Structure 1
Amino acid sequence: MIFQPVLHPLLLVLLFAPVAAVVVWVILRGGGASTGSGSSTGSGSGRHRTLWSLRLVMVLACFVMLLRPGLPGGATQTLATDTDIVLVVDTTASIVAEDWADGEPRLDGVREDVRAIVAEYPGARFALITSDAAAEVRMPLTTDTTALMGSLDVLRPEVTSQSRGSSIGIAARLLSDTLATAADSSPDRSRMVFYFGDGEQTVDSAPESFASSAKYTDSGAVFGYGTAEGGPMRINSGGVDPSSGSGTGSGDYIEYQGEDALSVIDEKNLAALAEQLGVEYEHRTADAAPTLPEAPSTTTNYAESGEVGNVTELYWIAALVILLLLGFELTSATMLIARLRQLRAPAPGPLRPGPSHPGPSHPGS
């Protein structure tokens, strides 16, 4: 038997001891409330003691319920993925090009794939890096997947007016540093890298290489988004306008030479990036789920992932006793009120004759 009290046990004792003492005093004081003689007095005293004894039981049941008793036992095996996963997301203007599914932004596809990754590797730690004109760690390694998805939900591309072109490899140095730090702090954990982008290189220089991260990367993938036909991109003014459909703050599209500018996927660049990291490349579409690699077997083990002890709660038994006693109290109160009403009602008595009136007088009477 174990206890998980809702308050400190000493505080519970201080709360309930005075109440229990008053009830015991009333019980010991006897049934002075009854009137009459002989057996009437004895029966009234017995009912009085019984009623207050049940109230004492109710007080004790409340005390036990707040102690939250339980039985230890049973164990639930859990799967732990002792892996650090770094997500690198391209947040240039092209990430909201509308050629995902039925004209939706590519960023919607990224969010869906990250959800699949989170579900595939339970217990892993996740970090989020974004890259546009500069690379930035949006979220350090954490097991808080709710925070991760929250960060992705509010993620927006760079402001269009501030865009000066970008390199798909601008996050290479930051990724290498992040992986190296994770390897130093937790050498026993494996590391996975997932890159999300369209491969468009919008500066004249060649992309930076991710080869320095390969020695820290045990697995992962490069996911490419977009089509060869390309998709238009809405202007991001830095605000939030629900009417824009993509939350980028404007309903207008980026134009080039008087027409809507189109972002086209560059799978050659993405395949080269995947080769540098030593992972597989996959072109992503909305009609298929992502192909996710298995987590390294040395860090995922059902048998050794740990067990979480379960407690069989017993407080509900005390709660049931309280419920039954409250029902008894309500029934007793209802019957008492009914008796009081009967005592207050006037008892029917014999009919009394009305005042007599002298009859008419007759002569000679």
Structure 2
Amino acid sequence: MILQPVLHPLLLVLLCAPFVALAVWALVKGPASSHAGRGIWVLRLGMVVVVFAMLLRPGIPGGTSQTLATDTDIVLVVDTTASIVAEDWGDGAPRLDGVRADVQAIVDEYPGARFSLISFDAAAQLRLPLTTDATALMSSLEVMSPEVTDQSRGSSIGIANRMLAETLSAAAKAAPERGRMVFYLGDGEQTVTSEPESFAAAAKFVDGGAVLGYGTAEGGPMRKTTGAGAGESAEYIEYQGAPAMSVRDEDNLRQISEQLGVDYQARAADAEISLPDAPTSTTDYASSGEVGNVIELYWVLALVLLTLIAVELARATMQVTRLRGLARPSADSRTRPSRDSRTHPTGGAR
């Protein structure tokens, strides 16, 4: 027998003890002197005991199964410049929608991996340190918005090079046996006059990954952002009196892929993402090779509880019916005229 209590057993005892004490008091010193009265409280005591047993979640060993785990650290480098919301993803959706969808695909592809998120615009920012909490990663992406348009002074596509190298280096020192992958997600637009910084320093820590490019050759317009939230403005960024268009720079993206030693992939809404295999030395079954299964038995106790509740309801229904039956004759007697008040058929009193 295996127990997997929903709370600490001591807390469960403290929660159930008052109800047990009440039932025991009613049995020993309460007014329930008849056999029927004692039976009622025995039934209620049984309910408490069954609920306590359910909360302990009993079970029996049910064999073992193998589960796949990816012992890999994955760092995501995401562009958050104004161009990431250019509306050329699919049917006029912002590129950021494609980024979020692809990150979800990456999470699904590498179960058990640890993820870190770095965003960059005018500066790089570590939004999420390495964690296995994929929900936290997706939540960070959902609330992530591009830089404020009025504060933008241009950005470099390589501004995150130093933070990426430091993150990978720290991961390699902490867990040298784990593989490391990098996914760079951006459009490759360099909007400052200087040359982009190189990611070559991070390459020695990278075992795989990809550079994912967003946007089109025709480009897409970009809405202004103020930092107040998504969909905050209907106005487009303009250049020389017309909406400014952001285009994907594949040359820059291919250069980043060469520096990191990973493949480049142009992304589009109608194309399925192609992800590389995790490093073969880090993708394996759990260290024991097996994970124990437990056949839970709480459902058996739930059936017992339902039976006890059904008995209690049946007893209560019978009592209500009996009381109504006793009350009906007295009501009739109050409405029936007395013998003395009856009048003679001829109208006179008898």
TM-score by length of 1: 0.81
Q: Could you say what secondary structure the match of 1:322 adopts?
A: helix
Q: Could you say what secondary structure the match of 2:184 adopts?
A: strand
Q: Could you say what secondary structure the match of 1:85 adopts?
A: strand
Q: Could you say what secondary structure the match of 1:216 adopts?
A: coil
- Compute the displacement of 1:52 (Å): 5.8
Instruction: Identify if the C-alpha distance between structure 1 residues 154 and 59 changes in structure 2 by more than 3 Å, giving closer, same or farther.
Output: closer
- Compute the displacement of 1:167 (Å): 1.4
- Unaligned runs of at least 5 residues, structure 1: 32-44, 241-246, 358-365
Decide whether the 8 Å contact of 1:16 with 1:63 is kept in 2: no
Residue 296 of structure 1: which of 276, 279, 295 is its match? 279
Decide whether the 8 Å contact of 1:156 with 1:248 is kept in 2: no
In the comparison of the two structures, how many residue pairs are matched?
Answer: 336
Decide whether the 8 Å contact of 2:27 with 2:38 is kept in 1: no
**Which stretch has the larger CA shift, 299-308 or 47-56?**
47-56
Equivalent residue letter for 1:183: A
Instruction: Identify if the C-alpha distance between structure 1 residues 231 and 273 changes in structure 2 by more than 3 Å, giving closer, same or farther.
Output: same
Q: Determine whether 1:153 maps to 2:142.
A: yes
Decide whether the 8 Å contact of 2:16 with 2:48 is kept in 1: no
Q: Determine whether 1:190 maps to 2:193.
A: no
- Which runs of structure 2 are paired with 1:300-315 in the superposition (5 Å)? 300-302=283-285, 304=287, 307-315=290-298
**Which stretch has the larger CA shift, 73-82 or 273-282?**
73-82
CA distance in 1, matches of 2:101, 2:23: 59
CA distance in 2, matches of 1:190, 1:61: 49
CA distance in 2, matches of 1:259, 1:302: 56
**Which stretch has the larger CA shift, 109-118 or 231-240?**
231-240
Q: Could you say what secondary structure the match of 1:330 adopts?
A: helix
Decide whether the 8 Å contact of 1:87 with 1:126 is kept in 2: yes
Q: Determine whether 1:25 maps to 2:28.
A: yes
Q: Could you say what secondary structure the match of 2:265 adopts?
A: strand
Percent identity, aligned pairs only, is 61
CA distance in 2, matches of 1:356, 1:257: 113
Q: Determine whether 1:2 maps to 2:5.
A: no
Cross-structure match for 2:308:
325
Decide whether the 8 Å contact of 2:120 with 2:159 is kept in 1: yes
Instruction: Identify if the C-alpha distance between structure 1 residues 92 and 294 changes in structure 2 by more than 3 Å, giving closer, same or farther.
Output: same
Instruction: Identify if the C-alpha distance between structure 1 residues 231 and 26 changes in structure 2 by more than 3 Å, giving closer, same or farther.
Output: same
**Which stretch has the larger CA shift, 67-76 or 107-116?**
67-76
- Which runs of structure 2 are paired with 1:211-226 in the superposition (5 Å)? 211-226=200-215
CA distance in 1, matches of 2:239, 2:33: 97
Equivalent residue letter for 2:246: S
Decide whether the 8 Å contact of 1:222 with 1:282 is kept in 2: yes
Decide whether the 8 Å contact of 2:221 with 2:237 is kept in 1: yes
Instruction: Identify if the C-alpha distance between structure 1 residues 23 and 59 changes in structure 2 by more than 3 Å, giving closer, same or farther.
Output: farther
Q: Could you say what secondary structure the match of 1:320 adopts?
A: helix
Residue 245 of structure 2: which of 257, 262, 265 is its match? 262
TM-score by length of 2: 0.84
Decide whether the 8 Å contact of 2:71 with 2:113 is kept in 1: yes
- Compute the displacement of 1:301 (Å): 0.9
- Compute the displacement of 1:20 (Å): 4.8
CA RMSD after TM alignment: 3.0
Post-superposition CA distance 1:250-296 (Å, at most 9, x none): 21122222222211211111111101100001111111111110001
Q: Could you say what secondary structure the match of 2:255 adopts?
A: helix
Q: Determine whether 1:282 maps to 2:244.
A: no
Equivalent residue letter for 1:181: A
- Which runs of structure 2 are paired with 1:1-365 in the superposition (5 Å)? 1-3=1-3, 4=5, 6=7, 7-8=9-10, 10-11=13-14, 14-15=17-18, 17-22=20-25, 24-25=27-28, 31=34, 54=43, 57-240=46-229, 247=230, 249-302=232-285, 304=287, 307-343=290-326, 345=329
Structure 1 stretches of 4+ moved >6 Å: 351-357
**Which stretch has the larger CA shift, 15-24 or 307-316?**
15-24
Q: From the CA coordinates, give the structure whose radius of gyration is larger.
A: 1
Instruction: Identify if the C-alpha distance between structure 1 residues 343 and 198 changes in structure 2 by more than 3 Å, giving closer, same or farther.
Output: closer
Equivalent residue letter for 1:284: R
Instruction: Identify if the C-alpha distance between structure 1 residues 262 and 305 changes in structure 2 by more than 3 Å, giving closer, same or farther.
Output: farther
Q: Could you say what secondary structure the match of 1:309 adopts?
A: strand
Post-superposition CA distance 1:212-255 (Å, at most 9, x none): 11100000001111122222211222323xxxxxx253211222
Decide whether the 8 Å contact of 1:237 with 1:248 is kept in 2: no
